[in-house]
Structure 1
Amino acid sequence: MSRILIARTLTRENFAEFGDVLDTDGPDPFPINGGKTERYHALAQAEAQGPNGRTILSIFRGQPYTLPLTLSLVERHPFGSQAFMPLSSDPFLVVVCHEGDDGPAEPQAFITQPGQGVNLPRNLWHGVLTPLGKAQDFLVVDRAGDGVNLEEFHFSEPFEIRLEQKP
């Protein structure tokens, strides 16, 4: 038996307690490159702590998932943040959890809108990269360095993630 988790539309307001939404809807850009480029400056701050910690950029190619989806595992990174910016306009699922008494608290699920990414602070429990519908590439900003920067948690009773029903 699964517990039900409803995935809501990702907005700056409903995601603020978990991290940053990366998109061009919020901050005012300023012109660079002779006015040919708009710069949306400092959308988030990357964290890279721990032994020999440094910030790196990578591309992840994620294989697609379909909803409803069973969530049985979340992970976190104690030494650094992770930012995920899709390189297409396709949606992806973001699952996050605050710290609870004995591990992650109840998860929250969000569906991104076109042009949105997220920045997850260090130590935030989150689901794995979850593109929806088709394979998808992501620009990922995270930490490299010494030390174990991955903790996993398996829920004793999984959650079933469903889409929010619009009226």
Structure 2
Amino acid sequence: MTTTITSLTIEPLTREAFAPFGDVIQADDAARHFTINEGNTERYHDLAQIDPGEDGRAIVSIFRGLPRTLPFTITMMERHPKASQAFIPLSGRPYLVVVAQPASRPSVDDLRVFLCQGDQGVNYARGVWHHPLLGLEAVSDFLIIDRAGPGENCDIVQMDAPSIIPALG
């Protein structure tokens, strides 16, 4: 039996396009912002709905990811059913996110791929399917805000059919 591999389309990351999956974390004019500290600092306020879930607490970690080579085949996805999970790039490099709406199991047709710039973070809403870290170009660090607490908070599924993220450009 031959398996057909679906080629995914890479979209630019915007607040509107990513809204069904969570929040874009970015300091720009679209975000609520105001001046503080005697005029020395601009505060970009309340950029993500951090959700530690029932009996959870928010924790901060740094993930250091090796770069992925494109084209890249998507064979699995994961989700965190108890809480949100935010990724904020620290290395200033672009990266990709692959997401699907919360459902019992994502299919290839459910996947969306976003190209994130080095100044854009994402906050995956509770239960949103996503692929693990997809850094590009070089080893990259990300500040992660997620949940610590009782109970299992990571579901992993193998995709029924593979899909491929094509090379950029």
Verify same fold: TM over 0.5. Answer: yes
The alignment-based identity, stated in percent, is 47
The count of residues paired between Structure 1 and Structure 2 equals 163
Match for residue 26 of structure 2? Answer: 23
Q: Gaps spanning 5+ residues in structure 2: where?
A: none
Q: Deviations over 1:3-51 (max 9, x none)?
A: 111111111121111111110122142111111111000001111124x
Once the two structures are superposed, the pairs formed by residues 29-108 of structure 1 within 5 Å of their partners are 29-50=33-54, 52-100=55-103, 102-105=104-107, 106-108=110-112
Deviates more, 1:9-18 or 1:131-140: 9-18
Per-residue deviation, 1:88: 2.2
1:6·1:163 contact (CA, 8 Å) conserved in 2? no
Q: 2:144 aligns to what? A: 140
Name which of 109, 112, 115 aligns with 1:111: 115
2:44 counterpart letter in structure 1? Y
Letter in 1 for 2:59: I
Cα distance in structure 2, aligned partners of 1:15 and 1:62:
22
Alpha-carbon distance in 2 for matches of 1:46, 1:79: 12
The AA in structure 1 aligned to 2:106 is P
Instruction: Give distance in 2, aligned partners of 1:14 and 1:98.
Output: 13
Q: 1:10 aligns with which of 8, 13, 27?
A: 13
AA at the equivalent of 2:115: I
Matched to 1:119, the amino acid is: N
- Give how far 1:68 is off: 0.8
Q: Structure 1 length normalisation: TM-score?
A: 0.92
The alignment yields a C-alpha RMSD, in angstroms, of 1.5
Query: 2: distance between equivalents of 1:92 and 1:164?
Result: 11
Q: Runs of at least 4 residues of structure 1 off by over 4 A?
A: none
